[in-house]
Amino acid sequence: MGISKFSFHPRAVIHAVADRSVYFFIEHAPAFVDSMIFTLLHNFSRKSFRYPRMNQAIVTVLRHNDIGSYLVMVKSLIWVTKYNYRFFVLSDGTLTSSDIHTLRQHHGITVYIPPVPKKWQLWRWQAIKYCSPKTLFPNEHVILADADILFYKTPGELLRKNVCVFSDDIKSWYALSNVESQHYLHRTPIEKMNTGLLSIDTQYIEPRLFETLLTTVSHIQKTRSVDDHVIEQTAYAILFRAMQKRTRVRRLSAGYLMFPKIHTTDNHPHPSCIHFTGYYETERRFYTIVLLIKTAIFH
């Protein structure tokens, strides 16, 4: 597969992934592939410090197993925008001292260890409290990004101030029905919202709703058998609904893809980024290698 200096077409990669020999190798030798990725990352790190710094906070709740993919996400954003950013990691409780040292070596990434009991993991939805006006980012425009994202263009919609944006999902995955949400929180969640990539202006968060929301989702987490990301999406979908009265709230355009959508007929030919869900680790590794080779050759 040829790698162009000026374009990187996802469908070309899909055809390459379809080659069973390549797919088989990546699928059955993940440790070797990951070591290859870290070698390419090291090459990139020496170059990217030359870029000017932008005063934009990029926040990620991170676990130990996702260190590699997170660093790739960071590098891809720096490479396409030609800027360094204020990167913040919220440990979910699984990051080791070695992990923290590795993160701080890359672009001065700031690592926060939330005050949770030992042996507890930070529920991802709890990250919203770090975007409240009372905590780490008062009156700031903050981007929240999962570790399993690759950027191919400058994400202008995310960087735009005074507008809150979120990525689209294939359906609504929520822990509360519309009836329950209306009863407890006096509003219904925004439909089909994915919290893997979003931006939020913290000045528009209603403090009273914020506290009620934290209490409600905490109760859900303790009393219902619901996946953590579903609770998180419920919280953000309600929060963004409330913010519609105070600022502009909109979905990201079609150029911000989740990986399963790449296979559909409405695929955007030149995506700004691709979000790989947890079921597509092999595909994520393949895309990562191609992107890092491209940065190494054409940087």
Cα(98)–Cα(283) distance, integer angstroms? 27
Rounded average pLDDT over 265-278: 71
> How far out from the chain centre does Cα 90 lie?
13
| pLDDT one-digit tens code per residue, 224-238 | 887 777 888 888 899
Q: What is the rounded end-to-end Cα distance, in angstroms, of the chain?
A: 19
Does 176 have pLDDT greater than 80? yes
Q: How confident is the model at residue 40 (pLDDT cuts 50, 70, 90)?
A: low
Residue 296 has what pLDDT? 59
| pLDDT one-digit tens code per residue, 56-79 | 899 998 988 888 889 888 888 988
> How far out from the chain centre does Cα 52 lie?
23
Running DSSP on this structure, what letter comes out for residue 256? E
Query: Of 3.30.70.1400, 3.50.50.60, 3.90.1330.10, 3.90.550.10, which CATH number belongs to 29-298?
Result: 3.90.550.10
Angle at the Cα of 152 from the Cα atoms of 88 and 125, rounded to 5 degrees = 35
Q: How confident is the model at residue 259 (pLDDT cuts 50, 70, 90)?
A: low
Does 143 have pLDDT greater than 80? yes
Three-state DSSP class for residue 89: strand
Average pLDDT, the chain: 78
Q: Which residue has the higher pLDDT, 35 or 163?
A: 163
The structure tokens listed for 17 are 């992934």
Angle at the Cα of 141 from the Cα atoms of 67 and 228, rounded to 5 degrees = 45
Q: How confident is the model at residue 8 (pLDDT cuts 50, 70, 90)?
A: very low
How much of the chain, in percent, has pLDDT values that exceed 70? 74
Q: Which residue has the higher pLDDT, 24 or 79?
A: 79
Residues 6+ apart with CB under 8 A from 210: 128, 129, 132, 239
Does 267 have pLDDT greater than 60? no
Residue 1 has what pLDDT? 39
Q: How confident is the model at residue 27 (pLDDT cuts 50, 70, 90)?
A: confident
Does 50 have pLDDT greater than 60? yes
Beta strands in 186-234 (DSSP E): 193-201
Q: Which residue has the higher pLDDT, 68 or 264?
A: 68
Of 149, 56, 38, the closest CA to residue 102 belongs to 38
Does 266 have pLDDT greater than 80? no
Q: CA-CA distances (angstroms) from residue 30 to 93, 271, 295? A: 24, 26, 21
Angle at the Cα of 66 from the Cα atoms of 90 and 136, rounded to 5 degrees = 10
Does 204 have pLDDT greater than 60? yes
| pLDDT one-digit tens code per residue, 76-108 | 898 888 888 999 998 887 888 998 988 887 767
